[in-house]
């Protein structure tokens, strides 16, 4: 959040009329940015990565784009457009998005903002008339973002712990085996919590049954007393 906020002055200097968020990674950064840049957000969805294997595909797949029949394209045509994504890895997705916006929506100007720019050789380059902004330059490792917590430990609190460990320079930052061990630790802890919940539920049920038996016993004793006294 701090990284995105640090880019607000540059974004304001660009004076965007609209933000295009590349889904799914660009949605949350774009929304954070909109807190200070009060312009509409439009969404497109492009796919290059295989989420199941964390690998890069051979070409970009257009999953969702503007529906020109509904007039959404008018929000982009002739406007100053800021494209937002979480990471600039190979630059393939960004290049595809820029080219597609230019071809189909004819904006007046385009700028690109990414949270992280990976320091690596790029497979594509952006046109020279596109302004480029990166909140931070990072090494070429697989990035694990908070909005992907379900895929990395299935626990947002575990993801926070992992992030803090990475800041300390722990082995989870660069060592996949360390990361896998971390995931196993989290899953084991979650399994323990579930077992504790089941044990607690069983204990509560046992207490409830014991209480019911006690009440029933008192009731039988009370009725027997009434019968013996003739009341």
Going by the DSSP 8-state scheme, the letter that residue 140 receives in this structure is S
140 counts as catalytic: no
> Among 1-15, 57-71, 109-123, 171-185, which is the least confidently predicted range?
171-185
Nearest-angstrom CA–CA distance, 218 and 141: 69
185-188-189 Cα angle (round to 5): 85
* 152 alpha carbon, distance to own chain's centre: 11
For residue 116, report the phi and psi dihedrals to the nearest 5 degrees. -130, 135
Residue tagged active-site, from 51, 89, 137, 140: 89
Contact, 199 vs 170, CB < 8 A?
Answer: no
Contacts of 151 (CB under 8 A, 6+ apart): 51
pLDDT tens string 21-80: 998 889 999 999 999 999 999 999 887 765 555 555 567 878 788 776 666 777 898 999
């Amino acid at each position: 959040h701090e990284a995105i906020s640090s880019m607000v002055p540059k974004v304001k200097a660009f004076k965007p009329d609209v933000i295009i968020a590349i889904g799914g990674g660009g949605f949350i950064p774009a929304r954070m940015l909109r807190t200070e840049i009060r312009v509409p957000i439009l969404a497109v969805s492009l796919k290059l990565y295989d989420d199941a294997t964390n690998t890069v595909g051979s070409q970009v797949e257009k999953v969702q784009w503007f529906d020109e029949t509904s007039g959404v394209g008018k929000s982009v045509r002739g406007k100053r457009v800021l494209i937002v994504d979480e990471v600039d890895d190979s630059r393939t997705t960004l290049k595809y998005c820029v080219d597609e916006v230019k071809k189909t929506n004819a904006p007046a100007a385009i700028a690109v903002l990414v949270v992280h720019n990976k320091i690596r050789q790029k497979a594509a380059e952006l046109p020279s008339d596109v302004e480029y902004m990166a909140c931070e330059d990072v090494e070429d490792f697989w990035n694990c973002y908070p909005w992907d917590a379900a895929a990395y430990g299935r626990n947002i609190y575990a993801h926070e712990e992992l992030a803090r460990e990475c800041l300390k320079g722990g082995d989870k930052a660069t060592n996949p085996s360390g990361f896998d061990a971390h995931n196993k630790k989290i899953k084991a802890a979650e399994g323990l919590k579930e077992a504790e919940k089941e044990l607690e539920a069983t204990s509560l049920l046992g207490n409830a049954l014991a209480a019911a038996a006690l009440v029933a016993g008192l009731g039988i004793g009370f009725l027997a007393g009434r019968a013996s006294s003739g009341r």
